[in-house]
Amino acid sequence: MNQLLRYYVDWVQAMPIVSAMIQFAILGTLGEVISKWFVNKSFKYPFSFWLTLWKMFVWSLLAIGIKYAFVGHAGLVEYLIEKGMLPELSRFGKAFATATSMNLQFGPFMILIHRVLDNLVETKKNWRNLDKGFYALLWFWIPAHTLTFMLSDHYRIGVAALLSIALGLILGFFNRR
């Protein structure tokens, strides 16, 4: 197991953007599949081949923004501490400040652009339950990303991609018919 983890870390460090894209393409799409299974109360695969490819492409694009947001907001918190605009913070405090900053600034944009891209390919205007996505920033993503930002940098994107499966389960459960 240690060797497998070492390969993973080496891959993430060597290709931070590509590895983020691949992880989110697979795990983000899987989260959507699981959500649809709950909503439809059926384990029938919910997407066509082309829609699956589109969703993987969308998650890949989102992963680029997510990776930059992770790095940028962690750097922002460090910069604000260095300049005396935030007090010295514990590891947890830095993680919480980073998660809060990222989810309140980048999070709404990501939710909206994800919905726009989904609507584009599905040729419909679905804005239902968008408020649930925004609320999820507060009750799910800030706490989850606080824990994520307590991890070493090379594990953060992988854990965030795994969390998209958890969110798919939660949203699927709450949106079931």
The per-residue pLDDT for range 99-137, each reduced to its tens digit, is 999 999 999 999 999 999 988 888 788 888 889 889 999
pTM: 0.91
Contacts of 163 (CB under 8 A, 6+ apart): 141, 144, 145, 148
Q: Are 155 and 95 in contact (CB under 8 A)?
A: no
In the prediction, which pLDDT does 70 show?
98
The per-residue pLDDT for range 26-80, each reduced to its tens digit, is 999 999 999 999 889 899 999 999 999 999 999 999 999 999 999 999 999 999 9
